[in-house]
Structure 1
Amino acid sequence: MQKLIIVENPDHWRFNLYDAEVVSPAKYISTETYQQFKGLKVINLCKSYQYQSLGYYVSLLAEARKHKVLPGISTIQDLRFPSILREDFEDFDDLIQTSFKNEKRDKVEFDIYFGITQHENLNKLARQLFQYVQAPCLSAAFSKKNKWVLQSIKPLSLGEVPIEDRSLLRLAVETYLQRKRDLKPDKKKYDLAILVDPEDQNPPSAARTRIHIGR
């Protein structure tokens, strides 16, 4: 399977990977070969995945072309609603508490590259976070009051990767590209959200309908 890494400026990409081609978004979008090639593995490392950004469009186009893209549009959408993600991560509460059981601070921030982090004791948690939020580079923060909870998780751009982490990023990219199988996303707790105003005299859906949808 051909592999592509997409960055805004390929000249700034410092890693030589023998089995992956580094291209700009413009080249990926306009080159006819990529339009016709099915099953490409695409790593989208554009600096932003915000709606209507270049990074968003690359992932949207990749999915339309049936390419295997990271991150996918569903992941990009998930990152827009961090409060829902935080609630979903309650399913991993035991792992979170175990990961920080010897931590003296009340807040910990760390970066994740394709499921790998610099902190050996947090790698199991990092893999779980990547399994759940499948974006190439992530920045996660956990804090503790009564117990440890996920405070935030957001995408990390290449320009935000510390110099001391670049060798780890290269290792993480190579490891990911060598995977024989693609990651299967964990099932999210919520696939659909319905906003309800209990005082609305003419709600858009009946209570019975909402109960049925929630089953």
Structure 2
Amino acid sequence: MTRLVIVVEKASDWSSYYPSVDVMSAMDYLREPVGGDDERTHVINLCRSYKYLGTGYYVSLLAEARGHKVMPSVRTVNDLRRRSLYGVDIEDLNTKLTNFLPAGGRDTTDFGILVYFGETAYPALQDLARQVFESFPCPLLRIEFERDRVWQVSSIKPVGLQTLDDAQEDAFAEELDRFSKKLWRKPRARKLYRYDIAMLVDPAEQMPPSNKKALKAFIAAGKELGIEVDPIGKNDYQRLAEYDGLFIRETTASDNHTYRFSHRAEKEGMVVIDDPTSILRCTNKIFLNDLMVSRKLAVPRTEILYRDDSKGMKEVVAKLGFPLVLKIPDGSFSRGVVKVESEQALEQAASGLFQHSALLLAQEFVPTDFDWRIGVLNREPLYACKYYMSRGHWQIYNHGAKGTAKSGGFETIAVKDAPAEVVKLALKATQPIGDGLYGVDLKQVGNKPVVIEVNDNPSIDAGVEDAHLGDALYLQIMQEFLRRMERKRQGITG
């Protein structure tokens, strides 16, 4: 069962609201006996100030020491003290505010909004409010803007309950109620499970990294180890603090919610696969190519094409010849990859791909009947697959005109039966990325393997990647989660 604690600095700060057994004063919370309670506790710290070494600061600090999930965390409190901004997308802020401010607002040079658990009363600024809350999870914030030719964020500050007027108190109460129900709507069966993992999935995704049967296998493997694996979706961002770990089984990208989930979970001190660093390093093929080359690892000959650089395009053709392969940096499942065999085809394909990226990769064409995929977990090989090219096509996936994709066959074998040089190169390729779960794609011509890419979110489908290990594959991944969560609980780092 989960216990919710709302901490206020003074009893009078809650006088406008109904009495609740969930509310206690800061001093009562700080004096509360430590230990002896297996109940999971979540704390909403509504103290008047989070000033360093002040009462509010100590509520968050001691909450973390006691193993309680607290909002705001000490890290958030420290981040809010910084004067720089802030990692929030404000490119179109000037347009939004100019359109939003009421008639006569042209003379306005400053403006502010309140944000309650990521929500604001101003729909035009809701996306900004959500981004700020995701960057700084804090119950009550004020975002202040100023204009000197253009609008910009001047500050993001925590706000105390005692400063709210009647209408603002009503708005805060509504969002507190909604937020707490969303966050703690599901009691955790602590006697049945030692740990809880959120598994981020998108049931509507056409080509997810794991099929439904595989997702069920992960849940079963977790249960065997005393871990509850709970599927969540992109609308469950606020629920992350409920869990001990995050397992992303949705195609990742550095510019969408999967990265925000990963980053938030890491900031919360959770065990995360895929971690945000791995997402950033793996989802851009240009970065990966430079990383492999800098480590002197074998890759196909590769050049970079720049938009509006026709001279550079001719030089690339001279270096690589035809056929060659064009790739957008962040494509997945063979999307955004085009094989060209003439200068005219190159110009036409590049023109289309440059609509999506200012830089493209041009790579020598390495024809093979199949690609190797070596799964790697915590720097150890996990599984080995051969992915054969789609019939009549040069890629594993052949994306049809109607958006459908056909893939070739596969063969899954024991890691020990895969060529030693392939496995060795796959492990070397993941070394500079991290210790997470990866799928390394390689081609082999003769005895020479080359790295094509490293995937931070490798496919694990029932009937494919588990064809050799069976349920043991899912168990090994859950065992790694368990090992990491145990180390977190014991305070072991590294």
SS at match of 1:153: strand
User: Matches of 2:36 and 2:13 in 1, distance apart?
Assistant: 25
Q: CA RMSD in A?
A: 2.5
Flag the 1:30–1:148 CA change in 2: closer, same or farther, 3 A. same
Give the counterpart of 1:177 among 180, 183, 201: 180
Letter in 2 for 1:164: A
Query: Matches of 2:97 and 2:175 in 1, distance apart?
Result: 23
CA distance in 2, matches of 1:56, 1:35: 24
CA contact (8 A) 1:113 1:138 kept: yes
Q: Which moved more, 1:24-33 or 1:164-173?
A: 24-33
Instruction: Give the counterpart letter for 1:77 in structure 2.
Output: N
User: Secondary structure of 2:118's match?
Assistant: coil
- TM-score, length basis structure 2: 0.34
Q: Matched residues, percent identical? A: 32
Quick check: 1:75–1:134 contact (8 Å CA) kept in 2?
A: yes
Is residue 6 of structure 2 the alignment partner of residue 9 of structure 1? Answer: no
Range with bigger deviation, 116-125 or 9-18: 9-18
One of 144, 147, 156 as aligned partner of 1:144: 147
- Three-state SS of the structure 1 residue aligned to 2:113 is strand
The answer to whether 1:21 aligns with 2:18 is: no
Bigger radius of gyration, 1 or 2?
2
1:4 Cα deviation (Å)?
0.7
Map Cα deviations across residues 76-101 of structure 1 (whole Å, 9 max, x no partner): 10111122xx1523xx0235345324
Q: Which runs of 5+ in 2 are unaligned?
A: 184-238, 242-260, 268-494
Q: Deviations over 1:114-141 (max 9, x none)?
A: 1122223222221111111111111111
**Counterpart position of 2:96:** 99
| Bigger share in strand | 2
Structure-to-structure mapping, 1:33-182, within 5 angstroms: 36-83=37-84, 86-89=85-88, 92-94=89-91, 96-102=93-99, 103=101, 104=106, 105-180=108-183, 181-182=239-240
Residue identity opposite 2:58 in structure 1: Y
| Contact 1:95/1:125 (8 A) holds in 2 | no
In 1: Cα distance, 2:13 partner to 2:146 partner: 35
Query: How many residues get paired?
Result: 183
Stretches of structure 1 that go unaligned for 5 or more consecutive residues are 189-215
State the alpha-carbon separation in 2 of the partners of residues 32 and 175 from structure 1: 30
More helix by share: 1
- How far residue 33 of structure 1 moved from its aligned partner, in angstroms, is 7.3
Question: For the Cα contact (< 8 Å) 2:110–2:144, is it kept in 1?
Answer: yes
SS class of match (1:170): helix
Q: Secondary structure at the match of 1:82?
A: coil
For 1:182, give the aligned amino acid. Answer: L
CA contact under 8 A between 1:42 and 1:70: conserved in structure 2? yes
User: Offset at 1:15?
Assistant: 2.3
| Cα separation, partners in 2 of 1:87 and 1:71, compared to 1, 3 Å | closer
Distance apart, 1:35 and its partner CA: 6.5
State the partner residue of 2:200.
none
Query: Would you identify which runs of 4 or more consecutive aligned residues in structure 1 move more than 6 Å?
Result: none
> How far apart are 1:38 and its partner, in Å?
4.5
Supply the distance in 2 between the matched residues of 1:142 and 1:55 (Cα, whole angstroms): 26
Q: Secondary structure at the match of 2:48?
A: coil
Tell me the distance in 2 between the aligned counterparts of 1:166 and 1:151: 24
Instruction: Return the letter of the residue paired with 2:164.
Output: V
**Does the 8 A contact of 2:3 with 2:39 survive in 1?**
no
Separation in 2, partners of 1:25, 1:34: 18
Contact 1:96 1:148 in 2 (8 A): yes
Partners of 1:47 and 1:32 in 2: how far apart?
23
Q: What secondary structure does 2:27 align onto?
A: helix
1:6–1:22 Cα contact (<8 Å) kept? yes
